A = this chain, B = another copy of it.
Amino acid sequence: MSVKTEFDLINYIKKSFDLKAIGDDCAVLPASGETDLLITADLLIEDIDFTLSSTSAADLGHKALAVSLSDIAAMGGRPTWALLTIGFPQPLWETNFVEQFYHGWNALAAEFAVELVGGDISRSPDRLVIDSIVAGYVPKGSAVLRSGAKAGDAIFVSGSLGAAAGGLKLLQNSVTATGAAVESQKYLIDRQLRPVPRVQLGQRLREENLATSMIDLSDGLSSDLHHICEASSVGARVDASLLPIDKDAIAEFGADEALKLALNGGEDFELLFTVSSEKISAVNSADPTRIGTITQAADGIKLIDRDSTVDLQPSGYRHF
């Protein structure tokens, strides 16, 4: 196994060691007779997942927690407690970065009544390293998995797509939110640096038993839809014209590029979920947008883009 993606490795480990809890946004573990514990970990490494030149310490603290809250949201959980593990390079340690990071983290934690219960602090030779671990709870057996989609279900996403990737593109082109950026650029950068986890929506979809499957958009729609289809053994048909592509991303980059950002950009941290046909009307259409339909596995995963139907390749973010 010398050429592998991280998904290959996860599957290899899962099979080798006969692990059943692995493979969703969070692990689901029995907590008591009435509740299941959800737990997720997200590793953020400087110069891979962020650069210190384009984020403030407080925004980084916010994002480190937000990405994990988003995993809890994707299973319909109520986030409850967290661990925070950080390796600091010596020069950062000697500034007020550390305190500012915790303040940013804590401001978001307070919104969701998440308590910091532990973690680890270490020295790092040169790069900042953060592992964000968040736990949440759901009533026993009610966590929304990736594996519940059925042919005929409608596919929905929350919010707008492509904004976070658009913000990243601006930052990579040295546009910063504090410079001469116009409002729409500031908004896109904010979507990249301060994602809003869809915790309430995730809980509502679980409580009202509306979502048959769910995942958060971290890698990108094309990849994350593949994760749902694999876990559920189904296919999918997505209509490009229905995608809620972010308006500011379109304005900044044009429609074609914005579509690519929406499909493959990742980090929007919106929720992608499926709903059985009889419950479609119960999903409040004010926010979540229907973008397609679940099909049979044999039909593959297709994108209808104007007159043509093409395979929707999983082109979202991969570490390897």
Residues on A facing B (Cβ under 8 Å) = 1-4, 6, 9-10, 12-13, 16-17, 19, 21-22, 26-27, 29, 31-33, 37, 39-49, 81, 83, 85-88, 90, 93-96, 98-99, 102, 106, 115-125, 127, 129, 131, 133, 319-320
List chain B residues, Cβ under 8 A from A98: 9
Number of copies: 2
Given contacts A12-B99, A120-B131, contact A94 B2 (CB under 8 A): yes
A25: min CB distance to chain B, Å: 9
A313: min CB distance to chain B, Å: 21
Report yes or no: B117 in contact with A22, Cβ–Cβ below 8 A. Answer: yes
Report yes or no: B115 in contact with A85, Cβ–Cβ below 8 A. Answer: no
User: What CA separation (Å) do A97 and B69 show in the bound complex?
Assistant: 31
Given contacts A94-B2, A118-B26, contact A87 B9 (CB under 8 A): no
Report yes or no: A119 in contact with B41, Cβ–Cβ below 8 A. Answer: yes
Q: List 27 A-B contacts (CB under 8 A).
A: A1-B96, A3-B94, A6-B121, A9-B121, A10-B121, A17-B102, A19-B116, A22-B117, A31-B37, A32-B32, A37-B37, A39-B83, A41-B83, A41-B118, A41-B119, A41-B133, A43-B122, A44-B122, A45-B122, A46-B125, A48-B123, A48-B124, A49-B122, A90-B320, A120-B131, A123-B319, A125-B127
Report yes or no: A85 in contact with B16, Cβ–Cβ below 8 A. Answer: no
Given contacts A33-B32, A125-B127, A131-B85, contact A117 B21 (CB under 8 A): yes
| Cross-interface CB contact of A45 among B3, B32, B87, B119, cutoff 8 Å | B87
User: What CA separation (Å) do A98 and B37 show in the bound complex?
Assistant: 28
User: What CA separation (Å) do A21 and B114 show in the bound complex?
Assistant: 12
Report yes or no: B118 in contact with A48, Cβ–Cβ below 8 A. Answer: no
User: What CA separation (Å) do A32 and B300 show in the bound complex?
Assistant: 44
| Cross-interface CB contact of A31 among B31, B49, B117, cutoff 8 Å | B31
Report yes or no: B45 in contact with A115, Cβ–Cβ below 8 A. Answer: no
Report yes or no: A19 in contact with B117, Cβ–Cβ below 8 A. Answer: yes
List chain B residues, Cβ under 8 A from A121: 6, 9-10, 43, 319
A122: min CB distance to chain B, Å: 4
Report yes or no: A116 in contact with B17, Cβ–Cβ below 8 A. Answer: yes
Report yes or no: A43 in contact with B131, Cβ–Cβ below 8 A. Answer: yes
Report yes or no: A27 in contact with B117, Cβ–Cβ below 8 A. Answer: yes
List chain B residues, Cβ under 8 A from A87: 43, 45, 48, 129
